[in-house]
Amino acid sequence: IINREYYNEYKSYVAKDKFRKHKYENASNVIQTQLAFLEKNTWNILKMGEASDDAKKNVIKILDLIKELKHLYVNNEPQQMMINIKKIMSLIPKNQNLKFKLPNLPYEIRDEIKADLDEALKCFNNGCYRSCVILCGRVLETSLQRKYYDATGVDILEKSPGIGLGKLIAKLTEKKVQLDPGLTQQIHLINQARVFSVHKKQTPFYPSQAQTQAILLYTIDTLEKLFK
């Protein structure tokens, strides 16, 4: 009986020890992966021609701190690692997030458009520019479908579920709904960017931050003009 109790106690200790070891190995792998990711992306900033001299100086400081972090990790000094991480965070510039004011919209589509624009802004502020452009196209589809309904009393999605922006504009023209020529061009521009972002092309389309910001601002401007 005594031997059995000792054996069970030993088995329990080994199981706990294995769990601790597994947990430690997982944490260790995460730390090493994140350090490698941080170092790689910091080096990428130096390769960008647009980076300012001040930004480049900060990058050099960050790389030195990452090097120190690796030594601290090997020497098992977590407290000093936290100090270095805080230093790195202080050298990273805070994002100036893009914001906008929602225009006056029909209440039937207001919540849907707000949800899409909020999501588009999150995508923009986190560098997901293709996703942002795709959502801008969706916002315009929703608004033009509503414009068609206001003019005809017909829900065009019931007749043509997959109708695109180009055909929507043509249908509105058929119903004598006049859109400003400049507005039509804006819509076509946003739609073209959306199509290139969604559909497979020989050369992938990656809109820049400036292009995506312009698409977002054009989308807001289009909404204001459609429902003024």
**Among 163, 160, 169, residue whose Cα is nearest residue 226:** 169
pLDDT at 97: 63
Residue 135: count of CB within 10 angstroms of its CB: 26
pLDDT at 1: 38
- Burial of 215 from C-beta contacts in 10 A (0-12 / 13-18 / 19+): buried
Q: What is the pLDDT along the chain (228 residues), one digit of tens a residue?
A: 344 444 455 455 555 566 666 666 666 676 777 777 777 777 766 655 445 677 778 888 888 888 888 888 888 888 888 888 888 878 876 555 667 788 888 999 999 999 999 999 988 888 888 888 889 888 988 888 888 888 888 888 777 777 777 788 888 888 888 777 677 777 777 777 777 766 555 556 778 888 888 888 888 888 888 888
- Burial of 73 from C-beta contacts in 10 A (0-12 / 13-18 / 19+): middle
Q: Residue 76 half-sphere exposure, CB side, CA atoms within 13 Å?
A: 1
pLDDT at 110: 92
- pTM of the entire structure? 0.55
pLDDT at 116: 94
Secondary structure (DSSP) of 77-95 = -HHHHHHHHHHHHHHSPPP
Asked whether 194 and 187 are in contact (CB, 8 A), the reply is no
